[in-house]
Amino acid sequence: MKYLVLFSGGLDSTYLVYNLLKEGHEVELLYIEILNNKNKSIIEKAQRKLLIKQFKSEFPGKVKYSSAGIKIEVTGYNDNYESAQPHLWTTAAALCYSNDVDRVAIGYVMNDSSLSYLPEIKRLFNAHGALLRKDMPKMPKIEFPLIKYHKEELIEMLPDKYLNLTFYCEEPHIIKEESTKLTYKICDNCPPCKTAKGLNRGYHKAIKKQLNKKTGKITVIGNLEVDDQDLMPCKQMADTLDEETPISFPLEEETFEEIEMDQSDDKEITLEEEKVSE
């Protein structure tokens, strides 16, 4: 069976992809980019690129990055809704699935606020079928395979080589951006950070990290105080991006399908965290 998964590179969607692949399914990955959250998008893209490389290495021929994609600039919405996410996610999935996809999967887990609205989310997704051309096959069914799981369980079941590359912070700070290295610090204050603080295996680390974009190695620099002048908050980055173009990491996703493992070296990507001695 072939699934389309809304894949952000966070814990829930990463485990969902891993589990579907482990069960023998094919998986097509769809990413929704929020354009006015530049820092988060840059880090997510860098770490998702490495996650996809890992998936392709362990499950050859089973992973495809969707040629379609959604980029949205969210400048605000009224507060009449519990959450804007179901609207965006279901519409993106309905617009971007391939005709050979059998199921669409979203990685909601136990205690997610959207669980109360699963019947409505299904109806919202299925409503797009009324707009299909008559010569098109019926829409795939939408599923929520993880609603019986807590995040703590996902952390225990997801191998470290994937777990170490998941990302969740909504307001990260990019400290330094290089062609092969990305140094950043999570905010420690957004709702996902607060949720992660209570998770096991030291999943949340309010620290500065350095990600090697080529090898996937993450170096923990430590729980250091970072000079405010070294930080580039999301809003400042969004305001200066077009003028100063400080970002060297490519923002386009089309290169994902071209990623191949280095056949000259049989070693797997090293995904580890190491404490740098002071």
| Confidence band of 214 (pLDDT split at 50, 70, 90) | confident
Q: Is 222 left (phi over 0), alpha (psi -120 to 50) or beta?
A: left
Q: Is 201 left (phi over 0), alpha (psi -120 to 50) or beta?
A: left
Rounded mean pLDDT of 238-244? 34
Architecture per CATH, 2-275:
3-Layer(aba) Sandwich (3.40)
User: Which of the pair, 189 or 236, is modelled with greater confidence?
Assistant: 189
| Confidence band of 29 (pLDDT split at 50, 70, 90) | very high
- Any idea which of 38-42, 218-222, 264-268 has the lowest mean pLDDT? 264-268
**Helical packing angle, 38-58 and 234-244, nearest 10°:** 90
| Confidence band of 75 (pLDDT split at 50, 70, 90) | confident
> How wide is the angle at C-alpha 53 spanned by C-alphas 50 and 55, nearest 5°?
110
d(CA 258, CA 228) in angstroms, rounded, equals: 38
Rounded mean pLDDT of 161-167? 91
Res 205: pLDDT: 65
The mean pLDDT of the chain is 78
- pLDDT of 249 > 50? The answer is no
| Confidence band of 13 (pLDDT split at 50, 70, 90) | very high
Residue 264 structure tokens = 């000259």
Which of 36-45, 119-128, 170-179 has the largest mean confidence?
Answer: 119-128
| Confidence band of 240 (pLDDT split at 50, 70, 90) | very low
Rounded mean pLDDT of 234-249? 34
Write down the domain spans for the chain: 2-275
- pLDDT of 14 > 70? The answer is yes
Rounded mean pLDDT of 57-79? 82
Percent of the chain having pLDDT more than 70? 74
- Any idea which of 4-8, 97-101, 217-221 has the lowest mean pLDDT? 217-221
Rounded mean pLDDT of 96-110? 93
Amino acid (one-letter) located at 190: C
- pLDDT of 18 > 60? The answer is yes
| Confidence band of 82 (pLDDT split at 50, 70, 90) | low
Amino acid (one-letter) located at 47: Q
| Confidence band of 35 (pLDDT split at 50, 70, 90) | confident
